[in-house]
Amino acid sequence: MKTKGCLYGISLGPGDPGLITRKAWECLQQNAVWTYPKRNKKSDSYAFNIAMRAGLELPTEHQALIFPMTHDESKLAKHWLASAQTVLEYLQQGKDVMFLVEGDASTYSTFGHLARTVQSLDEDVELNIIAGVPSFHAAAARIQTPIAEVDDTIAIIPAGYGLTMIENLLKNFDVLVLLKVKPLLNDIIDLLKQKNILQHASFIEKAGAPEERVVDDVASLYGEKVNYLSLLLIKNPDRVRGEMIRGCRKKTVSE
Amino acid sequence: MKTKGCLYGISLGPGDPGLITRKAWECLQQNAVWTYPKRNKKSDSYAFNIAMRAGLELPTEHQALIFPMTHDESKLAKHWLASAQTVLEYLQQGKDVMFLVEGDASTYSTFGHLARTVQSLDEDVELNIIAGVPSFHAAAARIQTPIAEVDDTIAIIPAGYGLTMIENLLKNFDVLVLLKVKPLLNDIIDLLKQKNILQHASFIEKAGAPEERVVDDVASLYGEKVNYLSLLLIKNPDRVRGEMIRGCRKKTVSE
C-alpha cells in the first residue's frame, strides 16, 4: 500500500508550451497537487503561466510556494522550510505533488532547494524528476546556431562573475553562455567589442515565451534595461585549438 | 504557394521516448520525410530507434543518412555533401524533411553539419529547429543531483581534451560534464581520486535508453570498456568561491 505521495520535479521548458515533454504532460493530467514557485505573494509564477498557456486544466489542489530573490540565507531558509512543510503535508496525506518549474528542474532551479528541504524533514520522501529543455538550448534552436559541435567546449556561468572571469574563459571555451546578464550588460558589450567577437554574440530574453526577444545586434542593447530572464550566447571563433588529445590517444598525460 | 520544403531539426531527447517534446511529436505525425543519421550502412541509428520505441508510425518516405565517425575531413565532406543532396532533392519536390537526432539538435549534433551543407547548396532553404533535452540534463534528473544551482558554474567538454585541461577547469567550475569519456576513463578516475572528488562523480551511459546504466561508484569502472554514449557528471564542492560579483554591483571592473 502506498502511504506517502511522491514529489515530482516537472520541467516545463523555457516558455513555449510545445517544448513540454510528453512525460511532463502526462504527469500534469493526473489531477495531482500542483505547486509552483513565485518570488513573492504578489508576483506571477513563470512556470505556472507556461502550464496555463499550454491549455492544461488546473487540478483540484494547487498552491504557489514563495522562493524569494535574495542572497539573505536566513530569509531563504525560512521560506524553503515553509514551502517544504506545505509540500510534506500533501505527501503525508498520500497525495503526489508536482512542482512545476521553467526550464530544466536540475539546472539553476528552485526544485533542488525544495527537494533537499523536504528530504531533510522526511528522508523517506521519494523524488521523481522529469528532465526538460533548458533555456540556452532553446535559445540556440531559436537563433539557428549550434551551441556546440564536434570538439567544442562550453562554459555556462551567471554573468555576475564579472569581466575578468569572462575574459579568462575565452581562452579555453568555444562557447560561453552568460546567464542573468542584466546588471553587467554594458560592460560585457564593451569587452566583446574589444575582443572583436561582439558580432558572434546573440541576446535572448524569455526564449519561447510570447514576450520572447532575440537581438543579434547586441551593441544596440547598450544602456537598455533588459529582463531578468535573459542570456547571451557567445561563440568564440578565435580560440586557439590544438590542445585536443583525440579520442584514440594511447598514453597517459600525467599521474 | 509553397514551392520548397522546410528542413526540420527534430530533437528526440537522450533516449526515453517520454522526453520527446510535444512539438517534436507533432512534427513526426505529419507524414513528412524522415531522415536520420547512421555511422555506416550496417549500423543502427540511435535517433531512429528512439522514434521506433516511442511507437511512432513510419512515414511513407524515410531514409538513413551516413555520418561517419572520423576526423578525416575529406571523408566527412564527401558524406555531408551526399546527405545534403539527398535532403535537398526532397525539399525541392516541396516536401518537408525531418532530420531526427538524439539529444538536442544544437548540441554536439550532426544536424548543424547537415543544415550548413544544405544551405551551401541552396541558401533559400528554410530551417526549423525543435529544441530537445540534452543527455546531461536527463542524466542529472536520473541521479537526482542538480547540475547547477544559484551561482554555480558549468563546464561541458569532450573528455579528450585531457587531464591538464580537466584539472585546470576544477579551479573555476562547480560542475564538469565530461563527454565521450571512454578512451580516458582510467586516467580521469586517477585524477579525481587524487583530487579527492571521485565520490562526487557519477557515470551515466545512454541516459533514458533501455540499456541505460548509472554508476555512482565510479572507481568500479576502472579498466572497463564503456559505451561511446557515456558521460561523467562531476560536482566540485572544493572550488574556492568568493570571486562572484553579485548582480547588484555598481562599478566596472575593467574596460
What's the pLDDT tens digit per position in B93-137?
999 999 999 999 999 999 999 999 999 999 999 999 999 999 999
User: Average pLDDT in the B56-66 region?
Assistant: 97
Instruction: Give CA–CA dist A87/A99, Å, rounded.
Output: 9
Statement: residue A199 has pLDDT above 80:
yes
Q: What is the mean pLDDT of chain A?
A: 91
pLDDT digits (tens, 9 = 90+) for A64-114: 999 998 889 999 999 999 999 999 999 999 999 999 999 999 999 999 999
B241: contact with A, CB 8 A cutoff: no
User: CB–CB of B197/B218 below 8 Å?
Assistant: no
Statement: residue B251 has pLDDT above 50:
no
Q: What is the ipTM of this complex?
A: 0.92
pLDDT digits (tens, 9 = 90+) for A163-174: 999 999 998 899
For chain A, list the domains and their CATH numbers. 6-130 (3.40.1010.10), 135-235 (3.30.950.10)
User: CB–CB of B184/A244 below 8 Å?
Assistant: no
B31 CB-near residues (< 8 Å, 6+ apart): B59, B60
pLDDT digits (tens, 9 = 90+) for B145-158: 999 998 899 999 99
- Specify the residue for cell string 585546470: B168
* Residue B114 Rama label (left phi>0; alpha psi -120 to 50; beta): alpha
User: Cβ–Cβ of A245/B144 closer than 8 Å?
Assistant: no
Which residues of chain B does A252 touch, with a Cβ-Cβ cutoff of 8 Å?
A: 187
Please report which confidence band the pLDDT of residue B60 belongs to, taking 50, 70 and 90 as the band edges.
Answer: very high
Question: What grid cell was written down for A127?
Answer: 523524488
Please report which confidence band the pLDDT of residue B140 belongs to, taking 50, 70 and 90 as the band edges.
Answer: very high
3-state secondary structure of A221: helix
How many Å lie between the alpha carbon of A229 and the closest alpha carbon of chain B? 13
Higher-confidence residue of B254 and B47: namely B47
Instruction: Give CA–CA dist B144/A128, Å, rounded.
Output: 8
| pLDDT for the residue A125 | 97
Phi (first) and psi of residue A95, to 5 degrees: -95, 140
Question: What grid cell was written down for A203?
Answer: 541576446
A155: contact with B, CB 8 A cutoff: yes
Nearest to residue B67, comparing CAs of B48, B92, B90, B95? B48
User: Average pLDDT in the A221-250 region?
Assistant: 76
Nearest to residue A145, comparing CAs of B176, B109, B78, B123? B109
